[in-house]
Structure 1
Amino acid sequence: MLADFFLEDYNKKFGKNIKLSQDGREAMEQLEWDGNIRQLRNFCERICAVCPKAEADKQFIYDNYKSSYFFEQLDFYQEKEESIGKKKEITREGLEELLKKHKGNKSKAASELGVSRTTLWKYLKEMNL
């Protein structure tokens, strides 16, 4: 499968060893790749970059395939494992104060929140900041 080739390449790039589970492989085969090889390659890069487990399963594949179009759940699995059952309460005022504290440095603000920069960007976008 061509995805295995791309995963192997990105595993080297990110220093990981992510594989497709059997149901993950079947999910990859069932999905439509409108962008052909380029879309598949970019998706394999996403898998290697954000998959917190050694195997990308069917649910992870579907969630991240969907997010590649709708920009949802990029950090879903990482945040879910870090805070199962915990919903972080983020307010507009809290974000403004945090950004002010870090002089606009989004990396430092995201780090203090315990989220990725992508997640912080989503919060900021949702709150029109």
Structure 2
Amino acid sequence: MGGLMKVIPFISVVYVIAGLASLGLPGLSGFVAEMTIFVGSFQHADTFHRVCTILAASAIVITAVYILRVVGILLFGPVKNPEFNHLQDATWFEKVSMITLVVSIVIIGFAPLWLSEIIRDSLTPIVERLALAGN
């Protein structure tokens, strides 16, 4: 595979944005999720939690390597299979769906608190039960 950016550019750009979000790039939804987990787990004073947090944070490098490698192999370079030249880019309906997804990824990345406020009331009983079970 390769060269898909030339054949299906819209889908390729959305793929790159989704990949960067899963990698945890600041300003995208994946960063909020990763940072919340890392900050929450690092607040434990014991060494075990701190070491686990540092190990998990270092795994971000591995994630970056494989996501950027896949993007490079799939999207850039020459089109290796002539059959790929006949692929069609997204239809208008697919573009609307993908744009909705990308806008959601960016909004959650830049303004995550409104979503936290929405789900807080439903999460509170679950967290309380987990706290009771842990004691």
Which structure has the greater CA radius of gyration?
A: 2
Q: Tell whether the structures are fold-level matches, with TM greater than 0.5.
A: no
TM-score (norm 2): 0.22
- Using CA pairs under 8 Å that are at least 6 residues apart, name the structure with larger relative contact order, 1 or 2: 2
